[in-house]
Structure 1
Amino acid sequence: MAASLAPPRAAATPRRPQPWIWRLQSLLTSYLPLLLMAFLATGTWWLVKNTPGQDEEREAAPARHEPDYRMRDFELRRIGADGRLRVRIEGAEMRHYPDTDTLEIDGVRLRAFAPDGSLTLATARRATSNADASDLQLLGDVRVTRHLLGPGGEPLAQPQLVVSGEFLQALVNEELLRSHLPAVLSYSGGEVHAQSFEYDHLHGKLRFAGHTTGRFEMPPARNSKGRGR
């Protein structure tokens, strides 16, 4: 007695992965506002405007690029309305230059928490800022990481996104994050080496310039089920 076999099942259509540049832009969309918020909280405006003035007027002298005050081994904190720490900035030394109304920070270390609990860390050999903190620059051994909130309520040790290079500029009013020097962006098992890049948060555009290469690890393929007999 012959038995008929059921026709084989059609192979499942593999899900098309999303373009890597779309995934990177999606990450930066949630990442940039946190970085800009952290820089705005540096307290530069408060420090500059509240610096004690001279008791007696002196004759105006040609402006020289020399600091009028310094702060060593300082720490600035900003606490949210809920009493939680939002931003902490530390540095080996901070200097204010009256001729350009700018600040320089040596050995800057930034720690910023978003309302959802995610954490942004930034370090650099030096940072500069104008008086209203609208133009902020990190210089030398720049490393910025973003950590998502874990199940236990603490930021995960493994960063979701890492940006490293020798220079990173944040233009707060324009909501731009850019570098004219080579930078490496690592995320989701992939890595992009860009000669330069610019992220425009207002318009949701991510641009690379010059020689740019990327390396991405593909997720392991699922074992297909055997055919029924």
Structure 2
Amino acid sequence: MLMGLLALASYWLLRATPPAPEPQPERPVSGEPDYFMRRFSVKSFDLAGQLRAEVVGDEARHHPDDDRVEIDNARIRNLAESGAVMRATAHRVTTNADNTVFVLEGDAVVVREGGKSQAGDPLPRLEFRGDFLRVELEPVERVTSDHPVELLRNGDRITAQTLDYRGDQQIADFRGRVRVQLLPRTTP
């Protein structure tokens, strides 16, 4: 009789237990922002504790589908290992997941302060202006645009329809209608 009671209890327990959940198919990652930051400042440091980059903005949105971040009214400062300082501002900045590519839109300005190259050669101050600029920090410093741009260098002014500047070679390739205003150099 006890065995019958245990069998009945086991049967009842089996019937009362909910079924195992069905495996859910993976949902596609949404393009909608999954987090926001407002009136923020983010700083990153190297292993020695030295400041390497700072990003300040009014609002940032992270998009999980491609891991990009959009920043409104952004101000960016990057300090290279060589000590070179690059600053950038724009109405909107979009950056990739590892913060090596920045797309600046709306009154974009990128300034690379003058200084010395890793080889010790002097580097002039460069200022890029335009409505759209793309800045790549790795593998080499590069500024490109397929929109009209202006480059200021030691008082010289160059405007063009497109730009491709490679920092490692210190070469700027201008296309389209190019206008150049050069200041005379004085020799001591």
TM-score, normalised by the number of residues in structure 1: 0.58
Structure ranking higher on relative contact order (CA contacts 8 Å, 6+ apart): 1
Q: Is the CA contact 1:119–1:146 (under 8 Å) kept in the aligned structure 2?
A: yes
Instruction: State the Cα RMSD in Å.
Output: 2.9
**Alignment partner of 1:95: what SS?**
strand
Q: Is the CA contact 1:97–1:103 (under 8 Å) kept in the aligned structure 2?
A: yes
Q: Is the CA contact 1:93–1:105 (under 8 Å) kept in the aligned structure 2?
A: yes
Taking structure 1 as reference, are residues 183 and 90 closer, same or farther at Cα in structure 2, changes over 3 Å only? same
2:104 aligned partner: 138
1:100 aligned partner: 66
Match of 1:189 among 150, 155, 174: 155
**Alignment partner of 1:87: what SS?**
strand
- Sequence identity (%): 33
Taking structure 1 as reference, are residues 217 and 173 closer, same or farther at Cα in structure 2, changes over 3 Å only? closer
Q: Is the CA contact 1:107–1:124 (under 8 Å) kept in the aligned structure 2?
A: yes
1:166 aligned partner: 131
Tell me the distance in 2 between the aligned counterparts of 1:163 and 1:186.
7
Tell me the distance in 1 between the aligned counterparts of 2:81 and 2:67.
32
5+ residue gaps, structure 2, are 1-22, 116-123
Structure with the higher fraction of residues in strand conformation: 2
Deviation of 1:117 after TM superposition, in Å, equals 4.0
* Equivalent position amino acid for 2:70 in 1: E
Aligned residues: 157
* Equivalent position amino acid for 1:133 in 2: N
1:65 aligned partner: 31
Matched, 1:75 2:75: no
5+ residue gaps, structure 1, are 1-56, 150-158, 223-229
1:177 aligned partner: 143
Tell me the distance in 2 between the aligned counterparts of 1:141 and 1:199.
19
**Alignment partner of 1:104: what SS?**
strand
Give the structure with higher Rg (CA).
2
Matched, 1:213 2:179: yes
**Could you list the runs of 4 or more consecutive aligned residues of structure 1 that deviate by over 6 angstroms after TM superposition?**
none
Deviation of 1:181 after TM superposition, in Å, equals 0.5
